[in-house]
């Protein structure tokens, strides 16, 4: 598999995820179930289409988790990030062209204030992302194609519980693209830092619970 194919697959998959997911926010009028299913089904569609090409991350937090677990190199992680952001931005640009920039701005990730403040949303995003990335770290080892369904359903579940509170980004590219295209940044740091912390937490949980490795110090030198 050529490197450019992997990066193109990440851009395409992220385009599908963000295009369908955020598009559903507009099409459904904000219906929670519709939005949650749209993100989950879009992820499943992307995984079955190009998942075998790149691994089907479509999310910088997932790529970080895979890098920490030594499944991809730092170079691949960085190029995956760039590809994912490009795919997400193209999706938001497409929606802005078809609909309007103002409508795209309404799809930015937002937390419910009250009862949650920015720090609470940060913690929530970290926890939701940890659950999602943990599932991927486990299911990506499976040889069954039904693992793709498990990953998509996990994203749906995270959205069902998370959207009313934090907005359930769990994906920096998904939040960055509408903010850039719509010109509404808000508390964007929540949706960049929260998923990053969640990815690290997921990797720690995976190492300890699934692999039984309680000494993570030997992994640290190889990450630099």
Full set of structural domains in the chain with CATH: 3-223 (1.20.1080.10)
Distance (Å, whole) CA 142 – CA 186: 39
> And the tokens for 48?
């079955």
Mean pLDDT calculated for residue range 82-91: 98
CA 185 to chain centre: 18
Mean pLDDT calculated for residue range 53-74: 97
How far lies 80's CA from each of 11, 19, 74, 108, in Å? 8, 18, 10, 22
- Each residue's pLDDT tens digit, 170-184: 999 999 999 999 999
Distance (Å, whole) CA 193 – CA 200: 11
- DSSP class of residue 143 equals -
Q: Specify the pTM.
A: 0.95
Mean pLDDT calculated for residue range 24-33: 96
pLDDT for res 37: 98
pLDDT for res 213: 83
Query: What rounded mean pLDDT belongs to the chain?
Result: 94
pLDDT for res 223: 57
Distance (Å, whole) CA 193 – CA 172: 8
Distance (Å, whole) CA 193 – CA 135: 20
pLDDT category at 113 given cuts 50, 70, 90 is: confident
pLDDT category at 224 given cuts 50, 70, 90 is: low
- DSSP class of residue 220 equals S
Using DSSP's 3-state secondary structure scheme, residue 100 falls into coil
User: How many residues in the chain?
Assistant: 224
Q: Percentage of the chain surpassing pLDDT 90?
A: 89
Do 136 and 62 meet the contact criterion of CB atoms below 8 Å apart?
yes
Terminal CA-CA length for the chain: 26
pLDDT category at 221 given cuts 50, 70, 90 is: very low
């Amino acid at each position: 598999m050529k490197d450019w194919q992997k990066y193109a697959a990440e851009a395409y998959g992220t385009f599908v995820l963000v295009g369908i997911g955020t598009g559903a926010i507009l099409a459904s009028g904000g219906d929670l179930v519709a939005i949650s299913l749209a993100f989950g089904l879009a992820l499943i569609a992307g995984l079955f289409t190009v998942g075998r090409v790149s691994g089907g991350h479509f999310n910088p937090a997932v790529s970080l988790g895979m890098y920490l677990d030594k499944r991809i190199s730092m170079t691949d992680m960085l190029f995956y990030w760039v590809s994912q952001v490009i795919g997400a931005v193209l999706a938001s640009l497409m929606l802005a062209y078809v609909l309007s920039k103002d409508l795209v701005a309404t799809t930015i990730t937002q937390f419910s204030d009250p009862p949650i403040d920015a720090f609470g949303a940060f913690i929530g995003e970290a926890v939701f992302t940890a659950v999602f990335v943990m599932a991927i770290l486990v299911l990506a080892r499976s040889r069954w194609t039904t693992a793709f369904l498990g990953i998509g359903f996990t994203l749906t579940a995270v959205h069902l519980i998370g959207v009313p509170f934090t907005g359930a980004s769990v994906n920096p590219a998904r939040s960055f693209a509408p903010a850039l295209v719509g010109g509404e940044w808000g508390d964007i740091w929540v949706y960049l830092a929260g998923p990053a912390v969640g990815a690290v937490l997921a990797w720690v949980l995976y190492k300890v619970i699934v692999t039984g490795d309680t000494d993570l110090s030997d992994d640290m030198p190889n990450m630099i």
